[in-house]
Amino acid sequence: MGAASRTEVIIMNRNGEKARGDLYAGITDRIVAELERGVRPWVQPWAAANMAGHITRPLRHNGQPYTGINVVLLWSEAVARGFRCPIWMTFKQATELGAHVRKGETGSTVVYASRFTKTETDAHGGEVEKDISFLKAYTVFCVDQIDGLPEHYYNRPAAVASTIERNASADAFFANTGAIVRHGGSRAFYAPSSDHIQMPPIESFRDTASYVAVRAHETVHWTAPAYRVNRDLSRYSKDRSERAREELIAELGSCFLCADLGISPELEPRPDHASYLASWLEVLSSEKRFIFSAAAHAQRAVAYQPKAAEVEEAA
């Protein structure tokens, strides 16, 4: 008898044991609370004076950037608790570096998602392959909470001084997508029918950083078709809830990309996006896992660089 397949999702704590309560719900409720206060946790770091000139994703102890929902979680923690350093590590990692977390400090939650396959025997004696997805929570501490680390961990990242350098990095990223962009008019949007991004002239923006943030937002929309990263936009224009979901993905993706480029995105919501706040609250309140999938979709969109892959293959 052939093996069947079914999927199960489990949530683990940092000891690898099944966790009590719903981790998805706990994190989503926290984000909902911030939205209800008018705070978008994926943008807030740039509104805080303690982050000025130090735009980056949260970083692991080895300098590797966090991705997906962990970016949102740690940005939110950094602002709420006044942390300046973008680097985070576990208690064990700090100890292995000869350092120690200061007494009384509390950690911040990040998550690790993966999956494994388990073969079981069903009631009829047949083999059943169970595909098990798991979400594991663990605790990290900001470098600001740790003493005794090697000196380079305490060096503040240098602010990018040249807007030309920023422009060059952004231009390279957008070129590597291969997206068709047309400039003109006063609206920014992605047109699925013609598969192009429409942008107002760059001169109409407050500054180059704002232009890049808006173009990044529309580029995330552009990645949606099935032959790119495959997000279904068929109900975008018909369903308010589906439209709000896609706009949240695009906004997260724009903030992720701006962090990667060292650029401060627009601090105020665009007029056409501010109206989605109520819809986001509605979706996140009813679907405790959506912020996780939205962050994952945003991560995939930002990582989509087909032209860069062509260059690597030709090299």
- Segment 209-219, tens digit of pLDDT: 888 999 999 99
Q: Which residues contact 52 (CB under 8 A, 6 or more apart)?
A: none
pLDDT band at 280 (very low <50, low <70, confident <90, very high): confident
Q: How confident is the model at residue 308, as a pLDDT?
A: 73
Reading the block at residue 155, the tokens are 């060096």
Render pLDDT for 134-177 as a digit per residue (tens, 0 to 9): 778 999 999 999 999 999 898 765 544 434 344 688 999 999 99
Average pLDDT, the chain: 81
pTM over 0.85: no
d(CA 310, CA 306): 6
* pLDDT, average across residues 13-18: 52
Q: How confident is the model at residue 95, as a pLDDT?
A: 96
d(CA 19, CA 12): 5
Is residue 139 within 8 Å of 90, Cβ to Cβ? yes
**For 234, which DSSP code?**
T
* pLDDT, average across residues 49-59: 66
Q: How confident is the model at residue 7, as a pLDDT?
A: 39
pLDDT at 87 over 60: yes
pLDDT at 251 over 70: yes
Reported for 116-124, long-range contacts at CB under 8 A and 24+ positions apart, including other chains, are 119/3, 122/4, 124/1
